[in-house]
Amino acid sequence: MPEDREPLQTEEVVQMLNLAGECALVHDESKTELYVFTDRFHPREPWLIKFSSDQLPEAAILRQALALGFQLRGHQDARGSHHDLYRNCMGVRAAATKALDLMRLLPGVSGDAWLWVTIYEPDQRGEMPEKPKPWPPSA
Over the stretch 89-122, which tens digit does the pLDDT of each residue have? Answer: 999 999 999 999 999 999 999 999 999 999 999 8
Say what percent of the chain tops pLDDT 90. 86
Per the model's pLDDT, the better-predicted residue between 10 and 77 turns out to be: 10
H/E segment holding residue 18: helix 10-20
Mean pLDDT of the chain: 93
- Confidence (pLDDT) at 138: 80
- Find the farthest-apart pair of alpha carbons in the chain and give their distance in angstroms, rounded: 47
CB of 55 within 8 A of CB of 83? Answer: yes
Q: How many CA atoms lie within 13 A of 55 on its CB side?
A: 7
Secondary element (H or E) of residue 30: none
State which amino acid sits at residue 99. A
Q: Where residue 1 falls among pLDDT bands split at 50, 70, 90?
A: very low
Name 53's bridge partners. Answer: 83
Question: Quick count: other Cβ atoms within 10 Å of Cβ 84?
Answer: 14
| Tens-digit pLDDT profile for residues 48-69 | 999 999 999 999 999 999 999 9
On the question of pLDDT at 4 being above 70, the answer is: no
Map residue 19 onto helix, strand or coil. helix
Half-sphere CA count of 1, side-chain side, radius 13 A: 16
All structural domains of the chain, each given as residue ranges with its CATH number in brackets, are 10-114 (3.30.1460)
Distance CA 69, CA 20 (A): 25
Query: What's the pLDDT at 139?
Result: 65
Average of per-residue pLDDT across 73-83: 91
In terms of pTM, does the model score above 0.85?
yes
Smallest Cα–Cα separation from 118: which of 52, 35, 38, 32?
A: 35
